[in-house]
């Protein structure tokens, strides 16, 4: 009788041979699987939060967040093409640096800038008092740190014009970043903007961080310029992040656009986020649009910090 009772009890216990009950989650889920479940749930929640933030913009918006080390991506309208404004100077800088690595240009190469070359007169007037001679390195720095249009246009002239930037983007596999006009040309023809999708911009940033586009020294140079950028990013991607968070970004601003794209370094060896936010035609005041970008960055930061570090 004792043998029969013991057999019945054994058959009723989970995990015993001959039991038809499904094993419990604790028994069947490995630590890696549990992490994946938590990660997927976090991504779903992040997508919902990003959608709610985007819905409040009252205009066109695209958002893409890529976790560089894992390749995980979260987007809202990430394939929508929108005006870049000065964000185009990031793919331009990458193109110029690739041309340098190919031996077509040099960082210390001197470039003459005449008063007739000035693209716009309202910004950076201290840089262009009379005829100047600048190095390619300085022109890249001014184009990124100060978003200087004249520097960007001189760089475009050195490489052969806007189509070369688009061509380089295609070469590295990005089909939706189109640079078609110089800064001066865009000032005169606002109906022909340089455009891109946030998905491609975030992928561009991720590949930059991974060292797939440039040699380490050139990556460090460009990141340094992006980290020192003083063109409004402190009110956008950087604004709501914890003090001391490392951010390298490039803004774009115009009468109908409020943009910011950049790399955020996460704490505790949790990697990097490549984030791109483009806003166009919003009915909100600019400060509200900037707050939306800041809130998007913080939401992404919090979501990925809460997830296990990549292995």
> Quick one: tokens of 270?
């949790």
First to last CA, the chain: 54
237 vs 248: CA distance, rounded Å: 9
Mean pLDDT value of segment 147-166: 98
271 vs 267: CA distance, rounded Å: 8
Is pLDDT above 70 for 185? yes
Find the Cα–Cα–Cα–Cα dihedral 154, 226, 207, 311, rounded to 10°: 170
Helix (H, G, I), strand (E, B) or coil at 212: coil
Q: How confident is the model at residue 39 (pLDDT cuts 50, 70, 90)?
A: low
Mean pLDDT value of segment 267-294: 98
Mean pLDDT value of segment 261-288: 98
Q: How confident is the model at residue 7 (pLDDT cuts 50, 70, 90)?
A: very low
Q: What is the percentage of the chain residues whose pLDDT exceeds 70? A: 86
Mean pLDDT value of segment 46-75: 97
User: Higher-confidence residue: 51 or 31?
Assistant: 51
Is pLDDT above 70 for 19? no
CB atoms within 10 A of CB 115: 10
At 247, which helix (H) or strand (E)? strand 247-253
Q: How confident is the model at residue 10 (pLDDT cuts 50, 70, 90)?
A: very low
Question: What's the mean pLDDT when you consider all of the chain?
Answer: 89
Question: How far from 255 is each of 83, 187, 285, CA to CA, in Å?
Answer: 11, 11, 11
Q: How confident is the model at residue 21 (pLDDT cuts 50, 70, 90)?
A: very low
Q: Which of 229, 252, 249 is nearest to 142 (CA)?
A: 229
208 vs 226: CA distance, rounded Å: 12
Is pLDDT above 70 for 204? yes
Q: Which of 309, 276, 307, 311 is nearest to 40 (CA)?
A: 307
- At residue 177, the pLDDT reads 99
- At residue 18, the pLDDT reads 34
Is pLDDT above 90 for 189? no
Question: How far from 165 is each of 96, 229, 299, CA to CA, in Å?
Answer: 8, 21, 32
Q: How confident is the model at residue 121 (pLDDT cuts 50, 70, 90)?
A: low
Ranges of each domain in the chain: 41-305
Helix (H, G, I), strand (E, B) or coil at 225: helix
Q: What is the percentage of the chain residues whose pLDDT exceeds 90? A: 78
Q: Tell me which of 3.40.190.10, 3.40.710.10, 3.40.50.720, 3.30.1490.20 is the CATH number of domain 41-305.
A: 3.40.710.10
Is pLDDT above 90 for 232? yes
Mean pLDDT value of segment 69-81: 97
Is pLDDT above 80 for 157? yes
pTM comes to 0.87
Q: For the sheet with 195-196, list strands across it.
A: 82-83, 195-196, 177-178
- Sign of the C-alpha dihedral computed for residues 48, 53, 54 and 58 taken in this order: positive
At 65, which helix (H) or strand (E)? strand 60-67
């Amino acid at each position: 009788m004792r043998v029969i009772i013991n057999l019945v009890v054994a058959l009723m216990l989970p995990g015993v041979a001959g039991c038809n009950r499904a094993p419990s989650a604790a028994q069947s889920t490995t630590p890696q699987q549990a992490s994946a479940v938590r990660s997927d749930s976090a991504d779903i929640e992040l997508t919902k939060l990003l959608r709610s933030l985007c819905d409040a913009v009252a205009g066109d918006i695209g958002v893409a967040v890529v976790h560089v080390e894992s390749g995980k991506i979260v987007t809202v309208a990430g394939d929508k093409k929108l005006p870049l404004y000065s964000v185009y100077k990031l793919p331009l800088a990458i193109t110029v640096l690739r041309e340098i690595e190919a031996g077509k240009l040099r960082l210390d190469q001197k470039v003459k800038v005449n008063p007739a070359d000035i693209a716009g007169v309202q910004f950076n007037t201290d840089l262009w008092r009379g005829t100047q001679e600048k190095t390619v390195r300085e022109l890249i720095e001014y184009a990124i740190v100060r978003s200087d249009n004249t520097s960007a246009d001189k760089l475009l002239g050195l490489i052969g014009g806007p189509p070369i930037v688009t061509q380089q983007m295609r070469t590295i596999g990005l089909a939706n970043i189109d640079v078609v006009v110089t800064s001066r040309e865009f000032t005169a023809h606002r109906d022909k903007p340089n455009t891109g999708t946030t998905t491609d911009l975030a992928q561009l940033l991720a590949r930059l961080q991974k060292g797939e586009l440039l040699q380490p020294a050139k990556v460090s140079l460009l990141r340094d310029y992006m980290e020192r950028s003083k063109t409004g990013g402190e009110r956008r991607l950087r604004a709501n992040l914890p003090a001391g968070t490392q951010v390298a970004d490039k803004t774009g601003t115009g009468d109908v656009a409020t943009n910011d794209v950049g790399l955020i370094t996460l704490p505790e060896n949790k990697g990097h986020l490549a984030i791109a936010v483009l806003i166009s035609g919003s009915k909100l005041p600019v400060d509200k649009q900037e707050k939306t970008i800041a809130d998007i960055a913080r939401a992404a930061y919090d979501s990925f910090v809460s997830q296990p570090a990549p292995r």
